[in-house]
Amino acid sequence: MFVYKVGVLGAGTMGAEIAQICAWSGLPVVLKDLNQELVEKGVARARSIFQGRVDKGKMSVEQMEQAMSNITPVTTYDEFKDVDVVIEVVKEDMAVKKAVLKELDAICQPSCIFASNTSALSISEMAAATSRPSKVVGMHFFFPAHVMKLVEVIPGLDTSEDTVQTIVELSERLRKIPIKVKEIPAFLVNRILIPQLNEAIACLDENVASARDIDIAMQAGAGMPMGPFTLADNLGLDVCLAVMEYMYKEYADAKYAPHPLLKKMVRAGRLGVKSGKGFYEYS
């Protein structure tokens, strides 16, 4: 199926960056959140990415404005009636995701594909909340979405091959590298990344090195684009904790058990960039 129009549900950092990617690729994209303030913040984030390209001489102001015109900010589902794919980027909570997919199911055209940006949760369980399980699939971008090339494409139990192929082709149109991944808790990348983050927290707690030096070591020594603590602060420590707890529950393996220091920080409200303090402090 060819995709002419995309809906992005959730105008937070990831949602805004995904909308920017779609707009830059020439796709009309509808960006929705609960209220005007949240939507405007998402649009501002998309514009800031384009402005960075303008400042570096990689695009003109006219090109930026043309790309920005592809983004339609909304607070209702009215503009979702004719979208071909909805990319869901709401809270990493199964109940929330099932609720919004159920709402979309009653509004979107029958051919519309629902693609979840979940980093860990079951696609099959989400699909069961809709009348179109063959058209529900995982489409997992990585932070920062406008920079990172990889997209995990995760079929659920009933996802059709046409749905998978459509999302693979859409990912390529967005200048991404899609890989098809089996539906398991946390999929592929996070199954490897989350234990690594947990071990980094253990090293910090044991005073092996400072957070900054651990980040430098993983960047300079392991070639990561950013260190584990910088990444965790940007994702949100509450999100990281939720993924670890989900993996520990699903796999029943001690290596996925969240480190007590992470739990302590989340309980103290130190969630990273969004709260102003995590492993680092932010003004």
Residues catalogued as catalytic: 140
Distance CA 114, CA 128 (A): 12
* Residue 198, phi-psi category: left (phi > 0), alpha (psi -120 to 50), beta (remainder): alpha
Tell me the two tokens of residue 169: 């082709």
Q: What is the dihedral of CA 277, 49, 108, 141, to 10 degrees?
A: -60
* 85-88 and 6-9 strand pairing: parallel
Burial of 234 from C-beta contacts in 10 A (0-12 / 13-18 / 19+):
middle
Distance CA 216, CA 220 (A): 6
Distance CA 57, CA 39 (A): 28
DSSP string covering 54-80, please?
HHTTSS-HHHHHHHHTTEEEESSSGGG
Q: Which residue has the tokens 């693979």?
A: 168
Output DSSP code: residue 277: B
Three-class SS string for 173-202?
HCCCEEEECCCCCCCCHHHHHHHHHHHHHH
Using DSSP, state whether 6 is helix, strand or coil.
strand
Q: Which residue has the tokens 């979702």?
A: 80
